[in-house]
Amino acid sequence: MITFSRTLCALSLALCAVGVGRAQDAPLTASARFAQLDRNHDGRVTADEYNGKAVFAALDSNQNYRLTLDELQAVLGPDRDGQLSAADRLRVADLNGDGELSQDEVSRFAQMRFQGLDSNHDQRLDLAEFQSGFLQR
């Protein structure tokens, strides 16, 4: 169960890292990712700001409404020792097993991750809540 939670966390953070801007410009630290997601700069990230639809649109580089392993790999970069590969992350999120991610699958994981990070259940993430689930990619 811990491995699944870590996989979900890593996938969600990688996907949500590109909610604004290009994938290649995704920040590498939790605080930088948090600042990028906090579009209104109020020090909190709401569910609307942690939006799976916006993340999906940013990742779907060929705009075919499917997120492939190549598109996910472009965000995550090369595989690193001791960390989950893009293929592993895709398998975890691919609920229907078709080898690609739909907008619904990405949105579902973003929503689940948001709820998991929101430890005080106020429907907003502060930096400490966000950092609690941050894993280096």
pLDDT, tens only, 45-63: 999 888 888 778 878 889 9
Q: CA dihedral in degrees (41, 107, 63, 79; nearest 10)?
A: 90
For residue 32, the enclosing domain spans 2-132
What CATH number has the domain bearing residue 93?
1.10.238
Residue 28: per-residue pLDDT: 60
Residue 19: per-residue pLDDT: 43
- Token reading at 59: 């990742």
137 domain-assigned: no
- Tally of domains within the chain: 1
108 domain-assigned: yes
| 67-96 pLDDT, tens digit each | 999 998 887 778 877 777 889 889 988 999
Looking at per-residue pLDDT, the higher value among 113 and 13 belongs to 113
Alpha helices in 17-126 (DSSP H): 30-37, 52-59, 69-76, 86-93, 103-117
pTM: 0.67
Looking at per-residue pLDDT, the higher value among 22 and 113 belongs to 113
29 domain-assigned: yes
Looking at per-residue pLDDT, the higher value among 43 and 111 belongs to 43
74 domain-assigned: yes
Query: Of all residues in the chain, what percent carry a pLDDT higher than 70?
Result: 77
14 domain-assigned: yes
Looking at per-residue pLDDT, the higher value among 56 and 7 belongs to 56
Looking at per-residue pLDDT, the higher value among 106 and 13 belongs to 106
